[in-house]
């Protein structure tokens, strides 16, 4: 069973490489029991969207 550090490490890597089947199953098992990590996983795409918006709009007067 993964701890939260290792579970979030795999979730983070899933944004950068394809996880193996067993890695995906370990993450799924962990998030089925851990609300904090489930929230983390859902928030990763928000970070990506936010930094895209930030780069396109920072300091701009026309927001």
Residues lying near other proteins in the complex (CB under 8 A) are found at 3-6, 8-9, 12-13, 15-17, 35-37, 39-40, 42-44, 46-63
Is residue 26 helix, strand or coil?
Answer: helix
Cα–Cα distances in angstroms (integers) from residue 40 to residues 10, 45, 56, 57, 60, in the given order: 12, 10, 25, 25, 30
Encoded tokens for 49: 């969207």
Find the shortest distance in angstroms from Cβ 25 to other proteins: 19
Find the shortest distance in angstroms from Cβ 23 to other proteins: 12
Q: Which is nearer to other proteins, 28 or 49 (CB)?
A: 49
């Amino acid at each position: 069973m993964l701890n939260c550090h290792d579970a979030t490490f795999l979730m983070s890597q899933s944004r950068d490489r394809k996880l193996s089947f067993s890695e995906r199953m370990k993450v799924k098992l962990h998030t089925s029991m851990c609300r904090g990590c489930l929230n983390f996983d859902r928030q990763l795409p928000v970070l990506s969207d936010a930094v895209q918006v930030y780069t396109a709009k920072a300091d701009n007067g026309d927001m």
